[in-house]
Structure formats: structure tokens, C-alpha cells
């Protein structure tokens, strides 16, 4: 896929399908709310202790938490935490993973062996455990959560780009650039990379879904973004303690979290179907198969 001409074309095709269209709509609304949350009459930290653990009402659409804070406001600001973590993590993963895959696949030999063993080590532990180990070292902060989630995403990019490079390495246009004296760097970044956009794009969407899940999971385990910053996972963690008094507390943030993950999954699947088989977007496709838990 060429960038951005055919990218826009793919996007148009994707929006032609019902599932991805709804997913884009949902994520769009969540993103807008998260970006412009400060302009809305919402305060995720304001406590109304006399009205703690109240069910959904006209004043508090999603009810209130144990400190009388508005759960809807916290869900909206929690979206900010989730989206920032996802965007940051995907950026880190791509910035480290893509060059590893390019260099390993392009040069082969010892460089490939060393880089791929490092990737193997990253993959030797389940992502959640690796993230927890990093947080154990760096302490609990939004930066640590972001970094931890990002590093667990490196192998995905590295392996996908490496596979792509291996399949393009002997193509005529790559060999031609070499024959005309183009440097390896030029060949990697200007010839091979622009022709590898499709799988990278799918990986970005897939990893966004995994990153949101992982951030929420870390917060749920009590090692993610520290309070009082609102986070969906943290809300589920606290809400779980009030299942008898306030069942909506642990249910509503979970609905939003699940819809966000499903939306990314749906877009990812739609995208990989389009790329694998542009004529028949109905069949095949297994983008999120490797999603980690």
C-alpha cells in the first residue's frame, strides 16, 4: 500500500463496511470526549461525599463512586489515560521494533541472529508479566506503564517488518536500487519501508487494542497509572469492592473498555481482510489472533 493515496482508498473501503464504520464512530466519539474533556462540565476529582455510591441519576448519569465522584467524568478522563498510553506505547513499539525488523531482515547473518534472540527473550515471558517486571523496577507511574506496554509491543513490529523485508529483499526494484549504488539505509527506509505500510498499519491497530487492554489490566492489578488519575482498569479494581452496594460501578466502565477494545479489533480485522484480499473483504482475516492476555 502506497502512502497516503491508496491509504485513503483503503480507508474509504473500510468505512463502507458496517462493523468498522460503527467502530470508527465509537472511537471517534471517545477520542473527541477525551481531547475536549476540559471544556465539558465534568470534574473527575470533585467529591460529593454525601452522595457517594449513588446509582445512575439525572445528576450523575453513570452514578457516583465511593468518594462521591462522578463516574461518567472519570470514564471520560479515563479515556484520556487509555488513549495516551495506547498512542505512546504504539509509538515506542514501532520506533524500536521497525528498525530491528528492517536491519535484521536486510542484513541477515549475525546482526539478524542477535536481534532476533533479543526479540525471543521479549517473547519468552507473557506480556503482562514483562510489563509488571518493568514496573517493579521503575516504580508505578504513567510513564512506566506506557514504557512497559510499549516494549511488550516491540516483538510484534520486529517480526512483521522482518518477514516483510525478507519477502521484498530480492524483488527487482530493491536489487535495482542496490545496483545503482543506493546505500543500504536508503534501500531500507526509502524503498522497502514504504512498501511495507500495510502490515505495519494492521499491527498499529492490533497493538492499540492490546495496549488499552494491558494498561487497564495493569491498573486493575494495582500496578498501573497511580491514583487519583482516572483509569478504566483502576475503576474496575475499586468498583469490584462495591459489587453489593453499587453493581453499576464495576459494570459501566467495563462496558466502555470492552467496546473500545472490540472497536480496535473490528477495524484491525477489517483492515487485514482488505489488505490480504482487496477484491473480497468478506473472507479470511485473522488480525487479532495473537492478541495477548
Contacting residues toward other proteins, per CB under 8 A: 117-118, 120-121, 124-126, 128-129, 132-133, 135-139, 209, 213, 216-217, 220-223, 233, 236, 239-240, 243-244, 247, 250-251, 254, 257-258, 261-262, 265-266, 269, 286, 288-289, 291, 293
Minimum gap (Å) between residue 168 Cβ and other proteins: 27
Minimum gap (Å) between residue 126 Cβ and other proteins: 3
Compare residues 181 and 283 and give the one whose CB is closer to other proteins. Answer: 283
Minimum gap (Å) between residue 130 Cβ and other proteins: 9
DSSP percent split of the chain into helix, strand, coil, nearest 5: 75, 0, 25
Counts of helices then strands in the chain (DSSP H, E) = 12, 0
Compare residues 196 and 281 and give the one whose CB is closer to other proteins. Answer: 281
Minimum gap (Å) between residue 44 Cβ and other proteins: 20
- What's the rounded Cα separation, in Å, for the pair 195 and 1? 6
Minimum gap (Å) between residue 189 Cβ and other proteins: 28
What single-letter DSSP state applies at residue 191?
I
- What's the rounded Cα separation, in Å, for the pair 62 and 251? 10
Query: What angle (nearest 5°) sits at the alpha carbon of residue 205, between those of residues 199 and 211?
Result: 125
CB neighbour class for 124 (10 Å; exposed up to 12, middle 13-18, buried from 19): exposed
Compare residues 168 and 287 and give the one whose CB is closer to other proteins. Answer: 287
Compare residues 197 and 220 and give the one whose CB is closer to other proteins. Answer: 220
Compare residues 34 and 213 and give the one whose CB is closer to other proteins. Answer: 213
- What's the rounded Cα separation, in Å, for the pair 130 and 134? 6
Q: Which is nearest to 265 in space by CA: 225, 219, 211, 218?
A: 211
Compare residues 139 and 194 and give the one whose CB is closer to other proteins. Answer: 139
Minimum gap (Å) between residue 240 Cβ and other proteins: 6
Return phi, psi of residue 280, to 5°: -130, 80
What single-letter DSSP state applies at residue 190?
I
Minimum gap (Å) between residue 134 Cβ and other proteins: 9
Compare residues 38 and 289 and give the one whose CB is closer to other proteins. Answer: 289
Chain-centre distance for alpha carbon 108: 29
Amino acid at each position: 500500500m502506497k502512502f497516503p493515496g491508496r491509504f485513503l482508498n483503503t480507508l474509504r473501503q473500510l468505512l463502507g463496511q458496517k462493523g468498522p464504520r460503527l467502530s470508527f464512530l465509537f472511537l471517534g466519539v471517545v477520542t473527541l470526549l477525551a481531547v475536549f474533556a476540559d471544556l465539558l462540565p465534568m470534574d473527575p476529582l470533585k467529591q460529593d461525599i454525601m452522595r457517594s455510591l449513588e446509582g445512575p441519576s439525572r445528576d450523575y448519569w453513570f452514578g457516583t463512586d465511593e468518594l462521591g465522584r462522578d463516574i461518567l467524568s472519570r470514564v471520560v478522563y479515563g479515556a484520556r489515560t487509555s488513549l495516551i498510553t495506547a498512542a505512546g506505547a504504539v509509538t515506542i513499539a514501532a520506533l524500536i521494533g521497525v528498525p530491528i525488523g528492517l536491519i535484521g531482515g536486510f542484513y541477515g547473518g549475525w546482526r539478524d541472529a542477535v536481534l532476533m534472540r533479543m526479540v525471543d527473550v521479549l517473547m519468552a515471558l507473557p506480556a503482562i508479566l514483562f510489563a509488571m517486571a518493568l514496573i517493579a523496577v521503575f516504580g508505578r507511574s504513567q510513564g512506566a506503564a506506557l514504557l512497559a506496554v510499549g516494549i511488550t509491543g516491540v516483538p510484534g513490529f520486529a517480526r512483521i517488518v522482518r518477514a516483510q523485508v525478507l519477502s521484498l529483499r530480492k524483488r527487482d526494484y530493491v536489487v535495482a536500487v542496490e545496483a545503482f549504488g543506493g546505500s543500504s539505509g536508503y534501500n531500507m527506509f526509502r524503498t522497502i519501508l514504504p512498501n511495507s505500510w500495510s502490515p505495519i498499519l494492521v499491527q498499529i491497530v492490533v497493538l492499540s487494542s492490546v495496549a488499552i487492554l494491558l494498561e487497564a489490566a495493569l491498573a486493575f492489578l494495582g500496578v498501573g497509572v497511580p491514583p487519583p488519575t482516572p483509569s478504566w482498569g483502576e475503576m474496575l479494581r475499586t468498583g469490584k469492592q462495591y459489587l453489593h452496594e453499587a453493581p453499576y460501578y464495576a459494570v459501566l466502565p467495563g462496558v466502555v473498555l470492552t467496546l473500545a477494545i472490540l472497536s480496535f479489533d473490528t477495524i484491525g480485522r477489517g483492515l487485514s481482510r482488505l489488505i490480504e484480499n482487496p477484491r473480497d473483504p468478506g473472507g479470511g482475516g485473522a488480525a487479532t489472533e495473537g492478541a495477548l492476555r
